[in-house]
């Protein structure tokens, strides 16, 4: 049986999303044929082409807008070549701002000399070229397709969607120019590959519209079986009761897709009844068959990148911060070291789901074998380990194996700020190629860290960050605000902790998220343990993940006795300044000019 595995628009445009590479290898190891495509990067490559932009420009009535688009069409192939690393000589022309047309995004530029200095010409040019790419996307969104975005394609109608109504309405509307381009690319794959079934990985809400629009086309024109799976499906659709979704697909798989796809193949070949499908929902078998049957991490075959158009990916620099750039700049090979999280206790995390709760590790030799195999296929020696948290013991063994084989690699990934990250381990990581780590300090309050069962302390985190800094490894920390029972003073104290860490130079980057209670997390499943109660326990017919909540005692429907939106805004502004070395001497309250501070606020008693 032949599968066409598709990553729909849009995930990232600097590197392939890894799901199809793993599923392709697994299916082929079990006697099936699989081909893969990243429609996102193919769509971006088509839009940002001289041919398409010039044709589009000639359809625009306003002379100034037509002239802008024609200018874009004249230089776009050169900009793509620069962003692909194929023509670095263009950096000086872009950096001196004599080449690119400049719109609103350029008006908000920071001092470029301050951000990049006089020697960072290529970095400066990459940032400016990224703004150019984004401004073309802005124009298309404003004039052609209101859903278009380079990453969050139609995300506004997929995020927190309790019903299917808005998405269904968008899919019943006439196709846009962007839709037509996407469907033309899809048709080429369908005609060339002649698959027996088509599978879509949907990791994020920004991929859902593209997957559904493509599936709609397949059902109408080709009548092939369509399969949906991926991270968004796993978290949002586990309580799905909306039947209209099966107008677009035939199978919805949950958790790891390897065995579900294998069983679907057996079913389509007439060798397996529908009630034997693993972790799969169909129109006629609405119940999910839960099972612990999974191939071990050690048993999985090497990922297979064959068929992906690796030369088309663009390395962007959306932000000047060097740590943030790792997400969008460079064609990092994405690879999972260990399945699941070895801690899987944090109150805010989806610990009831398989991708978190089932911890499974291969040997260090297997991890490095996979790295060498991927390097031989892609020609890239940089790796982004996409683990929930890299296990320190296995990480140490992998580093030692890299050094034993004398490999030259670069890598980064997510960690927990464990006491295991000693000076010796951090030095070993740096020597073997680690360039950065990201980890959650979360609420930066020992009381709240204990409440949410994070398993780390502020002191322990600071000590680990010092070891990373001394080893030359960049550190990004995730932070959250608005956790149940969190007081305004605790939030201020958390920001002050972050300020001191920036001042000491032990973190280089940080980002604040507002706490979201999810139905798959300990705080969502047992909110009373954390001083909260859920406002609505009923299931939506379509998406179910984030849930509304209120304090267990006190404020009625109001979650906080202060303006949480204003606090979030102040946290972001302060941290942006800290990342740029500004405002480190100011009292943290100065970032919240519109907040009225109580003279004294005790921690709530529970």
Residues 6+ apart with CB under 8 A from 31: none
Of the listed ranges 70-79, 394-403, 558-567, the least confidently predicted one is: 558-567
Last-in-domain residue among 143, 175, 208: 143
> For residue 580, what pLDDT is reported?
87
> For residue 120, what pLDDT is reported?
75
pLDDT interval class at 106 (50, 70, 90) = confident
Give the whole-angstrom CA distance, residue 582 versus residue 9.
38
| Domain count within the chain | 3
Residues 347 and 466 in one domain: yes
Give the whole-angstrom CA distance, residue 412 versus residue 98.
36
Residues 203 and 243 in one domain: yes
With contact defined as beta carbons under 8 Å apart, do 12 and 314 qualify? no
- Per-residue pLDDT tens for 413-445? 999 999 999 999 999 999 999 999 999 999 999
Partners of 6 in the β-ladder = 37, 200
Of the listed ranges 145-149, 336-340, 356-360, 522-526, the least confidently predicted one is: 145-149
With contact defined as beta carbons under 8 Å apart, do 418 and 463 qualify? no
pLDDT interval class at 604 (50, 70, 90) = very low
Residues 380 and 416 in one domain: yes
| Residue 157 is assigned to a structural domain of this protein | no
Is the pLDDT at 41 greater than 70, yes or no? Answer: yes
> For residue 606, what pLDDT is reported?
36
| Residue 411 is assigned to a structural domain of this protein | yes
Domain extent for 104: 46-143
> For residue 605, what pLDDT is reported?
40
| Residue 284 is assigned to a structural domain of this protein | yes
Is the pLDDT at 214 greater than 90, yes or no? Answer: yes
> For residue 560, what pLDDT is reported?
79
> For residue 286, what pLDDT is reported?
59
With contact defined as beta carbons under 8 Å apart, do 217 and 247 qualify? no
| Residue 148 is assigned to a structural domain of this protein | no
> For residue 141, what pLDDT is reported?
94
Residues 21 and 84 in one domain: no
Residues 255 and 366 in one domain: no
Q: What is the CATH number of the domain that holds 29?
A: 3.40.50.280
**Cβ atoms within 10 Å, residue 411:** 26
- Per-residue pLDDT tens for 295-333? 888 999 999 999 999 999 999 987 767 777 888 888 999
Give the whole-angstrom CA distance, residue 35 versus residue 423.
45
Which of these, 274, 273, 235, 275, lies nearest to 254 by C-alpha position?
A: 235
> For residue 117, what pLDDT is reported?
54
Residues 216 and 261 in one domain: yes
Residues 186 and 331 in one domain: no
For the chain, give the percent of residues with pLDDT over 70. Answer: 94
Residues 50 and 115 in one domain: yes
| Residue 385 is assigned to a structural domain of this protein | yes
Q: What is the CATH number of the domain that holds 376?
A: 3.20.20.70
Q: Which residues in 414-433 are b (16+ Cβ under 10 Å) and which e?
A: bbbbbeebeeebbbbbbebb
Average pLDDT over residues 120-135: 91
Q: What are the CA-CA distances from residue 288 to residues 241, 414, 518, 543 (Å)? A: 12, 31, 20, 16
567 DSSP assignment? H
Write out the two tokens for 331.
């064609």
pLDDT interval class at 113 (50, 70, 90) = low
Only one residue has tokens 């940002």, namely 48
Average pLDDT over residues 263-274: 92
Last-in-domain residue among 264, 299, 334: 299
With contact defined as beta carbons under 8 Å apart, do 522 and 473 qualify? no
Average pLDDT of every residue of the chain:
92
| Residue 597 is assigned to a structural domain of this protein | no
| Residue 497 is assigned to a structural domain of this protein | yes
Give the whole-angstrom CA distance, residue 121 versus residue 124.
5
Is the pLDDT at 254 greater than 70, yes or no? Answer: yes
pLDDT interval class at 287 (50, 70, 90) = low
- Per-residue pLDDT tens for 532-591? 999 877 789 999 999 999 888 765 445 677 899 999 999 999 999 999 899 999 999 999
> For residue 535, what pLDDT is reported?
82
| Residue 606 is assigned to a structural domain of this protein | no
> For residue 154, what pLDDT is reported?
84
Write out the two tokens for 403.
């050094």
With contact defined as beta carbons under 8 Å apart, do 6 and 200 qualify? yes
Q: What are the CA-CA distances from residue 65 to residues 58, 241, 416, 471 (Å)? A: 10, 46, 49, 51
Residues 109 and 168 in one domain: no
Average pLDDT over residues 395-402: 98
Residues 217 and 97 in one domain: no
Give the largest Cα separation in the chain, rounded: 72
**Cβ atoms within 10 Å, residue 209:** 24
Is the pLDDT at 115 greater than 70, yes or no? Answer: no
HSE (CB half, 13 Å, CA atoms) of 518? 21
Is the pLDDT at 119 greater than 50, yes or no? Answer: no
Partners of 578 in the β-ladder = none
Is the pLDDT at 70 greater than 80, yes or no? Answer: yes
Residues 6+ apart with CB under 8 A from 550: 532, 533, 535, 556, 557, 558, 559
If one compares 601 and 125, the residue with the highest pLDDT of the two is 125
- Residue 563, phi then psi, degrees to nearest 5: -80, 100
pLDDT interval class at 522 (50, 70, 90) = very high
- DSSP H helices, 222-272, are 231-236, 258-268
Residues 334 and 479 in one domain: yes
Residues 35 and 50 in one domain: no
The DSSP H or E segment spanning 442 is strand 434-442
If one compares 104 and 142, the residue with the highest pLDDT of the two is 142
Give the whole-angstrom CA distance, residue 48 versus residue 178.
12
Give the whole-angstrom CA distance, residue 504 versus residue 296.
43
Average pLDDT over residues 281-288: 77
């Amino acid at each position: 049986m032949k599968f066409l595995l598709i990553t729909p628009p849009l995930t990232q445009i600097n590197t392939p999303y890894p799901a199809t590479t793993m599923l392709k290898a697994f299916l082929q190891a079990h006697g099936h044929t699989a081909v893969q495509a990243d429609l996102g990067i193919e769509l971006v490559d088509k839009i940002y082409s001289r041919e398409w932009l010039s044709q589009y420009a000639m359809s625009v009535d306003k002379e100034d807008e037509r002239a802008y688009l024609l200018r874009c069409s004249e230089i776009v192939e050169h900009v793509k070549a620069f962003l692909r690393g194929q023509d670095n000589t263009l950096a000086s022309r872009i950096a001196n701002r004599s080449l690119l047309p400049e719109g609103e995004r350029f008006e908000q530029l920071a001092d470029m000399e301050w951000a990049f200095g006089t020697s960072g010409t290529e970095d400066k040019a990459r940032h400016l070229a990224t703004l150019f790419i984004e401004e073309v996307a802005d124009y298309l969104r404003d004039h052609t397709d209101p859903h278009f975005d380079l990453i969050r394609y139609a995300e506004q109608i997929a995020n927190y969607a309790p019903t299917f109504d808005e998405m269904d309405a968008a899919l019943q509307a006439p196709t846009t120019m962007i839709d037509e381009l996407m469907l033309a690319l899809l048709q080429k794959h369908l005609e060339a590959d002649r698959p027996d079934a088509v599978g879509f990985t949907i990791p994020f809400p920004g991929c859902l519209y593209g997957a559904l629009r493509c599936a709609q086309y397949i059902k109408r024109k080709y009548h092939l079986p369509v399969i949906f799976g991926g991270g968004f499906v796993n978290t949002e659709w586990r309580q799905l009761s909306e039947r209209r979704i099966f107008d677009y697909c035939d199978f919805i798989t949950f958790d790891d897709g390897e065995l579900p796809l294998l069983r679907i193949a057996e079913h389509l070949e007439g060798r397996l009844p529908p009630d034997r499908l693993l972790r799969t929902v169909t129109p006629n078998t609405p119940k999910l068959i839960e099972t612990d049957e999974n191939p071990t991490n050690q048993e999985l075959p090497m990922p297979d990148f064959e068929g992906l158009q690796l030369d088309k990916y663009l390395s962007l620099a959306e932000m000047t911060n060097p740590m943030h750039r790792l997400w969008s700049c460079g064609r990092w090979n994405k690879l999972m070291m260990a399945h699941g999280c070895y801690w899987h206790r944090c109150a805010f995390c989806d610990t009831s789901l398989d991708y978190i709760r089932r911890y499974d590790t291969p040997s260090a030799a297997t991890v490095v074998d996979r790295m060498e195999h991927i390097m031989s296929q892609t020609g890239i020696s940089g790796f982004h380990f996409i683990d929930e948290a890299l296990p320190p013991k296995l990480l140490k063994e992998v580093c030692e194996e890299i050094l034993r084989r004398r490999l030259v690699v670069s890598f980064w990934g997510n960690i927990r700020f464990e006491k295991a990250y000693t000076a010796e381990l951090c030095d070993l990581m740096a020597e073997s190629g680690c360039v950065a780590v990201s980890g959650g300090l979360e609420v930066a309050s020992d009381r709240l860290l204990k409440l949410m069962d994070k398993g780390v302390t502020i002191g322990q985190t600071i000590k680990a960050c010092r070891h990373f800094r001394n080893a030359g490894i960049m550190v990004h920390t995730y932070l959250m605000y608005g956790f149940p029972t969190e007081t305004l003073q605790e939030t201020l104290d958390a920001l002050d902790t972050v300020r001191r860490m920036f001042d000491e130079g032990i973190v280089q980057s940080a980002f604040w998220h507002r706490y979201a209670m999810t139905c798959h997390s300990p705080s969502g499943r047992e909110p009373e343990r954390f001083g909260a109660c859920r406002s609505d326990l009923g299931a939506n017919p379509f998406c179910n993940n984030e849930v509304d909540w209120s304090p267990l005692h006190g404020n009625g429907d109001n979650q906080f006795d202060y303006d949480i939106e204003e606090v979030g805004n102040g946290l972001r502004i302060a941290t942006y300044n800290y990342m740029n070395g500004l405002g480190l001497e100011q009292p943290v309250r100065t970032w919240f000019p519109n907040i009225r501070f109580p003279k004294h606020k005790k921690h709530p008693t529970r």
